[in-house]
Every structure is written in structure tokens, then in C-alpha cells.
Chains A and B, each alone.
Chain A
Amino acid sequence: MEKVPLLKIKDGKKYFYRFTLNQRVQHIILAWSVVTLVLTGMPLKFHDTSWAPYLYALFGGIKAAPVVHKVAGSVLLLLFIFHVIYLAYIIWKQQMLPLKKAGELTFGSILKVLVTQPLVPNLKDAKDIRDLLKYLLFFTNKRPEGDKFTWKEKFDYWAPFWGMVIIGLSGLVLWNKELATQIIPGEAINFSLIAHSDEALLAALFLFIWHWYNVHFSMSVFPMGTVFITGYLPEELMVEEHYEYYVQVMKEAGLEHEILPPHGAHAEKSHEGRQAL
């Protein structure tokens, strides 16, 4: 991985490193292909609506839009394959290889490496969800103190991951139906069509409502989050969502005295939190 500072100070404001350039490029390609796929797929799913012909016409109508859809789908599938290889390579190079060199590469140690990956859900996530609900329902004023990746980000990662397997496989079957039905029965195309379009609707709604709310439309971020471009998250958002990790990075940077209290909105009432640190 690139050697970059985890904390950068610009114009007196602190920014925290979140995503490598490689990851950001992957995300941009993912976003472009997903939006294109949704725009060229949904008019077909909702073909009998008033807006469908107009949206479809923007992509060349029935003659061209399916081609655009297949190009974007191919890009997404290639990205998915690249991502899995990239992930495997990173884990191998950074965690498995040192273990191998030390002669400690056993089934148990491999399993431990895999389940402790930063994006693998764990008990803290369950606890954070419980604490978030307590906070959202006004039972407490204390937000859960998120780690480097919160349960929301893990959800945002694994939902498209699962979606891409389902939509990708069913899409390949629909695309290559002549080849696919050499092996599988024709009725599988019915199921592929249902899975492809219904899972795609779920994915689109999930991304455009939940993901975009969290990263762009939430009052803390509005009008637009920039971390997906710059790779750096501003301090106030770091405090709000990743407090545990924030404190850890600040301490590592030797800035203990500048650590903000966990709640930006009512910081003055939470001084005990700051003093405790």
C-alpha cells in the first residue's frame, strides 16, 4: 500500500486518510457503471411507465441502450474480478506472507487473518447498531464510537458485493441464453430475469437512498462528501462516525491535546468525555 500520512493538516483543518488512490479509482468505475446500468436497465423493468421511453431514448432506445447496458455490465464484472484479485493480493502480501516467512501459516492463522479483516462484520458492529438506536431514539446523548470502518460502511461494501454476484451471474445467463441453456433448463432464465431485475432494484434503492444519504445528503455532509475523490475525511465527520479510530490516529500523531469531544453538535456539554481522554 502507498505510504501516506494518516493525518493531514491543511489551512488549520485536519483531514484523515481513508482510501488509497487505487480504491478511489475502483469506486469511481463502480459508481459510473452502476449508474449507467441503472439508467439503461430500469426503463426496461418499468417499460410501461410514462418516463421510460424518454430515459431509454437518452441511451439510444431499444437498439442502442441494451448495448450500453452490456458494456457497463462487462466493465462492472471486470472490476469485480479485479477487486477480488486485488483484495486477495493485499491480504496475501501484507498479512499472509509475513506469517509464511515466520513459519506460522496454519489453517487457524489464515482463518484468523480472514475474520479480522477491517470490513468483516464483528461484535462491535452489533453493539454499535444497538447504541445508535439508543441514541436515535433519544435514550442517550452518546453516539456509538465507530472504528475505522463502521457497520454502515460494511453494509455498503457487502450489499453490492452480494448484489454483484447475483446480478452478474443472472446477467451473464440472460446475455448468453443460448449457451447457458445447453446446460441449465430454460426456466432458469425466468429466475435469472426476476433475480437480475429485482436485485438490481434493491441495489439501486439501497445505493441511492441509504448510501447517498450517508455520504452526501446527511445534514453533516450535505451537499456532497468529497472523501471518494480526495481520499481524506474532514475532522468533524471523523469525530461523528469514527470516534474510536479518530482518537487512535490522533494519539499516534502525538496530538492527544487536540482531540475533540465525541459530539460536535453539543460539544460544550460533553467536556467530561474530553477530560476523560
Chain B
Amino acid sequence: MKEFASRITAFLSMPIFSFAVLILFSTPLFAADIGNCLLCHKYPGISRVNENGQLKLFYVNEDIYNNSVHAKIKCEGCHTDIKKIPHDPAAKVDCLVECHIVEPSTEKKFSHNDANLFLSKSVHSTTDDKGNKKQFAEDMPTCKDCHDNPLYRPLSFFKKVRYGISDASLGRCRVCHKKDEFIYRFYNHITTRLHKSRNPLNIAEVCARCHDDPQVIARHNLSTKAVFSYGETFHGKAASFLDERVPDCLDCHVNRGESVHQMLSHENQKASTHEANRGTICSNIDCHPGASPKLATYKVHAEFNLDQSPVQYYFTLFFIVLTGGTLLPLMGIIFLDCLRKFFPDAEIKRRK
């Protein structure tokens, strides 16, 4: 958790009556600003120019934070090095620290370390199979390269699927769960994980930060500007029109039922994108059920590029030449026709 958080516990200053109503009936989401961090961080202008001359903004928007995935975590839960106020420059947040939340099924203190374990065995790990550090290991993503603390995008399931909270579902929760704050938080937690917190375009944009960077592509000898070439397919184009039904990078590059942190290289036999497994990506029940494995021989990442896909290159070139070869002479005739109509009686021979 990289952001400072929380708010002044305003309700403490409210009349006692309001306090009682709030607790008894509809307790809204609130984070515990025990350290009183918002005393300073509530001001939108709070910022500093760092050693590299970059302006760093330290403002924490309380409303946004309280609706984020980390709303229940106090600032000190992530910013463990801050012990006093005013504090010294804070160290970067380590997402793998154990926070105060207890994971209900194991009753152990919660940490993102499991995600990191998956990541360490994936194509994005910083070490190879033998444990040696990979070349350009610094290019490999860490938590915050992909996760920017997205807002909840909960689903409502009453009659039809839509964004937001379903009052009808909340009614069912209230049968057993008595605290509204708990209900809201877990409803958000569960429904957010029922689908992705980003739409396909957002996910592609996250991957593009590295996979469309020409320097990263060159350093790691990658065969394509992955998101650019994805953008040339129907899937990518539909994603650019904010279609939620089309597959994004993760749908093909992660084995079904596994965490995205377990993404494997296409050379790995266990990878969904391995040549032998690709057929099952396209033909899965949500996409093209019944499709032949041949469908997966479609070149998703073909570019208009002589080195990478020469046959597609020449095929496209043929149509470019055909278009130019057809239209340019015809447009020439149109131009001459316009000109001729302005000078209907001019003739070169007669002037001689």
C-alpha cells in the first residue's frame, strides 16, 4: 500500500445522537486514521521536490481511499518506518509486509507474499530456473508496476448484471450478517473478485507499459510489440471501444483457474500459450466453444513487418499497391476532367 490514508475521525466531534444512529443503523465505510495522518495529508497541495527534482504529491483523497481495496488498512500498516509525526522521508512501501488483517480461513496474518511466490516462478521472475539472476532483471515487474490500487467496480446481480451494489443482494446478506459495514466490505470484496477490476483496455494498457516499450522489447529479444499487435486484432479493437466481453492479455497468457502471477513463458510446456496448449485457449466454453485447434494458429501478434510476419506483410502490401494503383490514376483523371471543363475549347494543336 503506497498511499497515506484515512481521515480525521470526524464523527467523534458529532453530537452523541448522530454517533449512536451511525453505529446502530448504517455505518459507512471508514478507515482507521489512528496515527492522525490526515492532519497534514488532507491538504491537496501537500508536496515536495525530491532529490531528482521531481515534484511528489502526498495528498490523500479520503473518499477515494475509503472506497479502495485497502480502505480497512491503517497508514502505519504499510508505512512501517513512520513512527513519529512529523516524520522523515518515508521509505518505499513493501507490499509483502504482514498487515494487521487476519485471513479468515487460516486465521494467519495477511500478506501478499503468496502472490510474490507465484511471481517468482513465472515468466516475470527476476531469477531463472537455476536461481541465477536474469539479465536485465530490473525490467521485471514488481507489485506496483501493475497494481495501482484500483477502485472497486462491484457487480450487481439482481435481475441483470450491472455495476454498483445490489440492494436486493444486500438484503440477503443482512439475514445473517448484522453489521452493515462488514456487509458492504465483503460484498465489495467478493463481487470485485468475481470479475477483473480492470476492463480489457486497461489491462492491455498496463502490459503495454513494458511490452510496447521498444527498449524493453530489444533487451529481452521479444518478437512483437504485444499490445500494439493485439490492438490490430478484432479483440484489441473491440477492447478499445471498451468492450468487456473480449479477451485481454491475461485471458490467453494465464492458465484457466490460476493466478495471473503464475504467467509462464510460451516456451514452458505448462503454459497456456505453449504451442501444444494454445488450441484450448480459443475453444474454451466462454469464447469459441467447439472451435478446432486450428483456430489457435491465428497469428494474434502479427505486425505489418517484413521480419516478423513476411507473408502478412506482402499480402498487405499487395492491397496497398492495388489501392494506390487503382485510385491514383482515377483521381488523376478526375483532376484532368475538372481542369478540362474549365477550358473546354483549349487544344494544344491549334495553338501551334
Cα of A187 to Cα of B322 in the assembled complex, Å: 22
Within 8 A of A (CB), among B221-271: 231, 233-234, 237-238, 240-243
Number of A-B residue pairs having CB atoms within 8 Å of each other in the complex: 124
Please determine whether A141 and B334 come into contact, CB atoms closer than 8 angstroms: no
Please determine whether B302 and A190 come into contact, CB atoms closer than 8 angstroms: yes
Residues of B within 8 A of A198 (CB): 316, 319-320, 323
Please determine whether A269 and B345 come into contact, CB atoms closer than 8 angstroms: yes
A56 an interface residue at 8 Å Cβ cutoff? yes
- B347 to nearest A CB, angstroms? 5
Residues of A within 8 A of B297 (CB): 185-187
Contact of A141 among B322, B339, B345 (CB under 8 A): B345
Please determine whether A182 and B302 come into contact, CB atoms closer than 8 angstroms: no
Please determine whether A206 and B349 come into contact, CB atoms closer than 8 angstroms: no
Please determine whether B334 and A266 come into contact, CB atoms closer than 8 angstroms: no
Please determine whether B327 and A182 come into contact, CB atoms closer than 8 angstroms: no
Contact of B326 among A62, A182, A202, A220 (CB under 8 A): A202
- A56 to nearest B CB, angstroms? 6
Please determine whether B243 and A63 come into contact, CB atoms closer than 8 angstroms: yes
Cα of A138 to Cα of B339 in the assembled complex, Å: 10
A249 an interface residue at 8 Å Cβ cutoff? no
Contact of B336 among A47, A136, A218 (CB under 8 A): A136
Output the residue of B288, B294, B299, B346 with the most chain A CB within 10 A.
B294
Please determine whether B234 and A193 come into contact, CB atoms closer than 8 angstroms: yes
Please determine whether B338 and A44 come into contact, CB atoms closer than 8 angstroms: no
A residues contacting the other copy or chain, number (CB 8 A): 48
Contact of B330 among A139, A194, A210 (CB under 8 A): A210
Residues of A within 8 A of B238 (CB): 62
A178 an interface residue at 8 Å Cβ cutoff? yes
Please determine whether A138 and B312 come into contact, CB atoms closer than 8 angstroms: no
Residues of B within 8 A of A48 (CB): 231, 240
Is the contact region of chain A dominated by helix, strand, or loop, or is it mixed?
helix
Residues of B within 8 A of A79 (CB): none
Contact of A186 among B289, B296, B346, B348 (CB under 8 A): B296
Cα of A210 to Cα of B343 in the assembled complex, Å: 21
Please determine whether A138 and B346 come into contact, CB atoms closer than 8 angstroms: yes
- A173 to nearest B CB, angstroms? 11
B312 to A, closest residue via Cβ: A190
Q: A63-B243, A194-B312 are in contact. Are A185 and B294 (CB under 8 A)?
A: yes
Please determine whether A181 and B340 come into contact, CB atoms closer than 8 angstroms: no
Cα of A137 to Cα of B297 in the assembled complex, Å: 52
B344 an interface residue at 8 Å Cβ cutoff? yes
Cα of A191 to Cα of B299 in the assembled complex, Å: 10
Please determine whether A209 and B334 come into contact, CB atoms closer than 8 angstroms: yes
Within 8 A of B (CB), among A40-59: 44, 47-48, 53, 56
- A206 to nearest B CB, angstroms? 6
Q: Beyond A62-B242, A138-B343, A140-B349: 8 further Cβ-contacts under 8 Å?
A: A62-B241, A136-B333, A187-B299, A194-B315, A198-B316, A202-B323, A206-B326, A265-B344
Where the two chains meet, the residues of A that have a C-beta atom closer than 8 Å to any C-beta of B are: 44, 47-48, 53, 56, 61-63, 132, 135-141, 159, 174, 177-178, 181-182, 184-187, 189-191, 193-195, 198-199, 201-202, 205-206, 209-210, 213, 218-220, 263, 265-266, 269
22 contacts between A and B (CB under 8 A): A47-B231, A48-B231, A48-B240, A140-B349, A141-B344, A159-B326, A177-B288, A177-B295, A178-B290, A186-B298, A186-B299, A187-B297, A189-B295, A190-B312, A194-B316, A198-B323, A202-B322, A202-B323, A209-B331, A210-B327, A265-B344, A266-B344
10 pairs of A and B residues whose beta carbons are closest in the complex: A186-B297, A198-B319, A186-B298, A265-B344, A136-B336, A62-B241, A181-B295, A62-B243, A178-B291, A47-B237
